[in-house]
């Protein structure tokens, strides 16, 4: 009886009182800064685009040279993110599961593409893969594969700059995964491959897809690392960000914004889809 | 299938997890590995399963030497303490896993698998949850799914690592009874690890008590409790009252207390006595002079438990003594009362021999034993 009295007292206590302080201040600051550094420039972009009519907008974004650049950018980014999905998973696996000398160093090196100015990466890659470079000379000489100034070069530059996304999203998930699930699989007679395919991969899947998608969206906008190795031949190896840059050099800000808005739209749509998919996928793990 | 462990040893760096030890487990037996944490019981279990490799020694399943066999080829069922269910699979898929990964020529058809999974889930009484995910189950349900999964391929050996360790007391008790029944039905050979003595004594045909990577004693539960072979086993299994004394004039003396010793056992040493192996007396008797003060009376359960501290002598921990409720009412003891006790039975560890000797005393006339 006495406990029910206490409960009804609890019910009467004002509901809006929160235990954790500071919601107003921290949320306000966060929203302010998101507005300043994210939303304001984005709306500037949209407004600049809005100055031109629909017809002109459509004309600018469907220019054949620009459309060719979309295709190159999308296809290259797709290949780059696929490559990163496989190789990044392998790298994360090695870093988490094995102890070997130089592991910490390798772990630190993974972040290098983020830390390195992209132009530096671009020049380095272009030098390495050109016909006179170490890789390029061997690849074109021995195997007849031309890397520099081709779409393949674009893929390599994109993969290089965005691999940390995959490694850094998969790594923590892999670290938290209990070895016991794998052991359980083995005691039930599963081969290593089956354990990987049916037990490990499904648990890693959301993180892997997120990492690959981040890598993909980052590659869509990559400029510095790509332009040096791409060679920038019209209709063949021009990426969309280069098209934006060219319009800017022509002082056609509206056209530049129009093309940029397409890239922005694709990136946002992709992020949204990934988030929706992941929320649905993760629901079963949380038991809802 | 019987299991034979021969001279198995394991070392982790500088830590000797298992001293070379041997153990025979009969076919269809349920054996509990009991010991404190760090005693090597889990390591031994994992070596039997093949999840850990032994440094030396051999493991036999029946006439099959499995020492070099990979865990997946040993065909054991293994149950983990924290269930280790596959989180992304439904309950039914979890149970089906072992059947689905069988080599093609051994694998049942998908209809047969479905049938078998249904039977297994019936057995663990969880068929209504077949399409749930593990995160939607309670701890007890998860462990039953884990058991069904381990038994799906009909292994002849079932190994369990603290199977009920993560569950609350009530669920644990239910699952114990249920597992016991299951074992009666299916007759698999089973080894399980536990640090809970009740669990080991209730479930096992044989209990293996381990400490510091060694086997202290292997025995049936009742024998283990009645005649422990070492101080460790005595301490670890249930409460024990210890009287340490010097031999002098046919008695074991300490301070103002003494206990009469039979001629052939006369030596300094320690007497180990279970709470039920002593009785309360109003006065000192010809057998013992052990003045004690009642510190606490705990009337919970089938008997009344007295906590006693020595008066004029010393023990490392308070003594415990069990009285029937009837007896307790007759004595009407309360906190602070002074009582005397005398032993009826004891194990004597003399300072010169390792194994204990059993001593029993006749019931003295002055002793206040209650007629039933």
Q: List chain A domain ranges.
A: 13-50, 52-286
Interface test with A, best of B97, B106, B165 (most A CBs within 10 A): B97
What mean pLDDT value characterizes chain A?
A: 86
- What residues of chain B score a pLDDT lower than 50? 365-372
ipTM: 0.80
Q: Can you tell me whether residue B132 is helix, strand or coil?
A: coil
What are the start and end residues of each CATH 3.40.50.300 domain in chain B? 3-228
Query: What pLDDT score does A15 carry?
Result: 58
Estimate to the nearest angstrom the gap between the alpha carbon of B103 and the chain centroid: 38
Query: Whole-prediction pTM value?
Result: 0.77
CATH 2.40.50.100 fits B239-371, yes or no: no
Cβ neighbours of A180 in B, within 8 Å: 80, 82, 84
Does the pLDDT at position A12 exceed 90?
Answer: no
Q: Which two tokens stand for residue A120?
A: 């530096």
Query: Tens digits of per-residue pLDDT, A214-224?
Result: 999 999 888 88
Q: Dmax of chain A from CA atoms?
A: 90
Query: Tens digits of per-residue pLDDT, A211-257?
Result: 999 999 999 888 888 888 888 888 888 889 999 999 999 988 888 98
What is d(CA B220, CA B346) in angstroms, rounded to the nearest whole number?
20
Does B166 contact chain A (CB < 8 Å)? no
Interface test with A, best of B70, B72, B105, B143 (most A CBs within 10 A): B72
Name the residue among B49, B89, B136 with its Cβ closest to that of A187: B49
Query: What pLDDT score does A4 carry?
Result: 44
Q: Which two tokens stand for residue B315?
A: 């023990």
Nearest Cα residue in chain A from B150:
A188
What is d(CA B268, CA A202) in angstroms, rounded to the nearest whole number?
66
Class of domain B3-228: alpha beta
Query: Tens digits of per-residue pLDDT, A95-151?
Result: 998 889 999 999 999 998 888 888 898 888 888 888 887 888 788 777 778 887 888
Cβ neighbours of B108 in A, within 8 Å: none
What is the full DSSP assignment across B92-104?
A: HHHHHHHHHTS-T
Find all residues with CB under 8 Å of A118, minimum gap 6, and list them.
Answer: A161, A222, A223, A224, A225
Q: Do B148 and B140 form a contact (C-beta atoms < 8 A)?
A: no
What is the full DSSP assignment across B148-214?
A: HHHHTT--SEEEEESTTTTS-HHHHHHHHHHHHHHHHHH--EEEEEES-HHHHHHH-SEEEEEETTE
Estimate to the nearest angstrom the gap between the alpha carbon of B29 and the chain centroid: 15
CATH 1.10.940.10 fits A52-286, yes or no: no
Intra-chain end-to-end CA distance of chain B, in Å: 47
Q: Residues B110, A180, B53, CA angle at the centre, nearest 5°?
A: 105
Name the residue among A194, A202, A203 with its Cβ closest to that of B101: A194
Does the pLDDT at position A53 exceed 90?
Answer: no
Q: Are strands B206-211 and B303-310 parallel, antiparallel or unpaired?
A: unpaired
Strand partners, B257: B254
Query: What pLDDT score does B265 carry?
Result: 74
Mean pLDDT within A25-32: 91
Cβ neighbours of B143 in A, within 8 Å: none
Nearest Cα residue in chain A from B48:
A187
Q: Do B276 and B341 form a contact (C-beta atoms < 8 A)?
A: no
Cβ neighbours of A199 in B, within 8 Å: 86
Provide φ and ψ at B29, rounded to 5°: -85, 155
Cβ neighbours of A202 in B, within 8 Å: 88-89
| Count of A-B CB contacts under 8 Å | 76
- Å from B60 to nearest chain A CA? 17
- The string over B312-348, giving b where at least 16 C-beta atoms fall within 10 Å of a residue's C-beta and e elsewhere, is ebebeebbbbbbeeebbeebebeeeeebbbbbbebbb
Query: Which residue blocks in B35-162 are alpha helix, DSSP H?
Result: 41-49, 71-74, 91-100, 110-123, 139-151
Does the pLDDT at position A288 exceed 70?
Answer: no
Q: Which two tokens stand for residue A113?
A: 């593409």
Cβ neighbours of B75 in A, within 8 Å: 189
What are the start and end residues of each CATH 2.40.50.140 domain in chain B? 239-371
Q: Are strands B251-254 and B278-281 parallel, antiparallel or unpaired?
A: unpaired
Radius of gyration (C-alpha) of chain B in whole angstroms? 25
């Amino acid at each position: 009886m006495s406990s029910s009295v206490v409960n009804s007292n609890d019910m009467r206590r004002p509901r809006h009182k929160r235990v954790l302080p500071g919601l107003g201040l921290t949320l306000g600051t966060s929203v302010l800064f998101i507005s300043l550094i994210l939303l304001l420039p984005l709306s500037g972009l949209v407004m600049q685009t809005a100055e031109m009519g629909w017809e002109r907008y459509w004309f600018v974004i469907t220019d054949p040279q620009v459309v060719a650049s979309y295709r190159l950018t999308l296809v290259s980014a797709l290949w780059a993110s696929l490559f990163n999905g496989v190789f990044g998973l392998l790298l994360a696996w090695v870093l988490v599961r094995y102890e070997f000398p130089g592991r910490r160093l390798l772990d630190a090196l993974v972040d290098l593409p983020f830390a390195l100015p992209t132009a530096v990466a671009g020049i380095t890659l272009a030098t390495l893969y050109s016909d006179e470079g170490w890789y390029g000379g061997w690849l074109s000489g021995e195997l007849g594969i031309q890397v520099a100034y081709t779409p393949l070069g674009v893929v390599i530059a994109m993969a290089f700059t965005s691999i940390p996304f995959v490694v850094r999203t998969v790594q923590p998930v892999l670290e938290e995964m209990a070895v016991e699930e794998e052991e359980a699989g083995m005691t039930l007679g599963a081969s290593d491959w089956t354990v990987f395919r049916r037990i490990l991969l499904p648990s890693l899947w959301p993180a892997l897809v997120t990492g690959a998608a981040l890598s993909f969206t980052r590659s869509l906008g990559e400029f510095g690392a790509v332009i040096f190795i791409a060679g920038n031949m019209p209709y063949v190896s021009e990426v969309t960000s280069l098209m934006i840059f060219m319009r800017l050099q022509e002082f056609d800000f509206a056209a530049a914004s129009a093309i940029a808005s397409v890239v922005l739209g694709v990136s946002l749509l992709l992020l949204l889809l990934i988030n929706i998919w992941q929320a649905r996928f993760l629901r079963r793990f949380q038991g809802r | 299938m019987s299991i034979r462990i021969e001279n198995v040893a394991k070392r982790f760096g500088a830590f000797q997890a298992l001293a070379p030890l041997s153990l025979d487990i009969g076919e269809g037996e349920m054996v509990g590995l009991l010991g404190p944490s760090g005693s090597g019981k889990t390591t031994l279990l994992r070596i039997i399963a093949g999840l850990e490799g032994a440094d030396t020694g051999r493991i036999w399943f029946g006439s099959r030497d499995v020492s070099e066999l990979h865990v997946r080829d040993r065909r054991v069922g293994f149950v983990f303490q924290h269930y280790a269910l596959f989180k992304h699979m439904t309950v039914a898929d979890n149970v089906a896993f072992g059947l689905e990964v069988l080599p093609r020529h051994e694998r049942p058809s998908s209809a047969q698998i479905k049938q078998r999974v249904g039977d297994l889930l019936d057995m663990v009484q969880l068929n209504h949850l077949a399409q749930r995910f593990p995160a939607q189950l309670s701890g007890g349900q998860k462990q039953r799914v884990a058991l069904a999964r381990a038994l799906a391929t009909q292994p002849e050996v079932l190994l369990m690592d603290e199977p009920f360790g993560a569950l609350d007391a009530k669920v644990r008790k239910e699952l114990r009874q249920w597992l016991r029944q299951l074992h009666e039905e299916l007759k698999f050979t089973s080894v399980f690890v536990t640090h809970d003595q009740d669990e080991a004594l209730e479930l096992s045909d044989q209990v293996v008590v381990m400490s510091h990577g060694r086997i202290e004693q292997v025995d049936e539960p009742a024998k283990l409790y009645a005649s422990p072979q070492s101080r460790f086993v005595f301490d670890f299994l249930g409460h024990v009252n210890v009287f340490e004394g010097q031999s002098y004039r046919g008695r074991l003396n300490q301070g103002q207390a003494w206990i009469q010793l039979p001629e052939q056992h006369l030596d300094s040493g320690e007497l180990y006595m279970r709470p039920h192996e002593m009785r309360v007396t109003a006065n000192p008797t010809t057998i013992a002079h052990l003045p004690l003060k009642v510190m606490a009376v705990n009337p919970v359960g089938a008997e009344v438990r007295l906590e006693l501290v020595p008066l004029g002598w010393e023990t490392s921990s308070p003594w415990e003594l069990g009285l029937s409720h009837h007896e307790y009412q007759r004595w009407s003891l309360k906190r602070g009362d002074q009582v005397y006790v005398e032993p009826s039975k004891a194990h004597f560890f003399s300072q010169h021999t390792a194994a204990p000797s059993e001593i029993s005393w006749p019931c003295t006339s002055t002793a206040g034993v209650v007629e039933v």
